[in-house]
Structure 1
Amino acid sequence: MGAQALLNSLVRYKASANGDLLDALAGLDGAPAAEYGAALRVLHHAHIVDRIFLAHLQRTGHAYDKSWSAETPPLDRLAADIRETDRWYVDHVARLRPDELDEVIDFSFTDGARGRMSREEMVAHVVTHAGYHRGEVGRLLPEIGERASRDVFAGYLHRSDPARRA
């Protein structure tokens, strides 16, 4: 499997895992406010980073001066934004040519420090960063009132392609 195929699988997995987690959170009526709010703040942070790197991949500016926000949107709006951004990544990676994966892009981090990464590295960063924070929210879920979802790449691959079990 080449990098293109792997990145395609990883961004589809990210979108699927985000969707599962957002659906779990949407079903939590009367959840403890502190833990629920913490889960939304963590997901919002991951989403902001996704949007920042989306701008870097497009070689455009963005309006973020930090990767956290004091204001967390309500779950329905945050979920819609996350799903839209995940669709962008799935479509973007599917359209990338192999030579574009190696393209190095110069950018600035939100603290003003300079950065330089290939498109391939940026997509890998977005996928791994989001996974880290989904794990953080997954740890909070039992405290909120929901069992943690099984957020593993191998499980996604076998659910999305049942022939792998044959």
Structure 2
Amino acid sequence: MTNLLAKIYDYHAWANADLLAKLATLDPERHKSELHTALRLINHYYVVARIFSAHLRGIPHAYVSDNTEETPALEELRMAMAASDREYRDYITSVSAADLEQPIAFAFTDGEKGYMTAGRC
């Protein structure tokens, strides 16, 4: 199962990198509004991934919302997402089946309580 998850995640990481590479080819002045919208949406996904990663590891995070106030630059977001993807890939290849079934209690950014297991999220 870990091999399958790793292969799936490798594809996910490749797709993230490819999407950001394609966005980098757009004229930033001509497509300013579209790029901003795309970066806001991708940043939302990134922030949620970081929150989820913190929950998986049982560590606190500093996010108060599912997006940041400021929109990161494309290159900054690309580097952050690549690091996050590597971290998730490392997690997938090192986590045990037993750890995947451990209950994880957490709080959403709005303060509501949540519960999950890594293997059934």
- Please tell me the TM-score bracket, short chain as reference: over 0.9
- Compute the displacement of 1:5 (Å): 3.3
The correspondence for 2:22, drawn from 14, 18, 24, is 24
Which consecutive unaligned segments of at least 5 residues does structure 1 have? 123-166
Separation in 1, partners of 2:64, 2:8: 28
Q: Secondary structure at the match of 1:64?
A: coil
With the length of structure 2 as denominator, give the TM-score of the two structures: 0.92
With the length of structure 1 as denominator, give the TM-score of the two structures: 0.68
Separation in 2, partners of 1:63, 1:34: 28
Pairing 1:120-139 to 2, within 5 Å after superposition = 120-122=119-121
Which residue number corresponds to residue 81 of structure 1?
Answer: 80
Structure 1 residues 27-78: Cα deviation after superposition (integer angstroms, max 9, x where no partner) = 1124411111000000000000011011111101000011022211100001
- Compute the displacement of 1:119 (Å): 1.1
Which consecutive unaligned segments of at least 5 residues does structure 2 have? none
- Compute the displacement of 1:26 (Å): 1.2
Pairing 1:1-166 to 2, within 5 Å after superposition = 2=1, 4-30=2-28, 31-122=30-121
Task: Give the letter aligned to residue 26 of structure 1.
Answer: A
Separation in 2, partners of 1:40, 1:121: 29
Q: Secondary structure at the match of 1:106?
A: strand
> 4+ runs of 1 displaced by more than 4 Å?
none
Task: Give the letter aligned to residue 15 of structure 1.
Answer: A
Structure 1 residues 65-101: Cα deviation after superposition (integer angstroms, max 9, x where no partner) = 1102221110000100000000000011100111111
Would you tell me which structure has more helix in proportion to its own residues?
1
Q: CA RMSD in A?
A: 1.3
Task: Give the letter aligned to residue 24 of structure 1.
Answer: K
Structure number with higher relative contact order (C-alpha < 8 Å, ≥ 6 residues apart) = 1
Separation in 2, partners of 1:121, 1:38: 31
Separation in 2, partners of 1:116, 1:10: 25
Task: Give the letter aligned to residue 50 of structure 1.
Answer: A
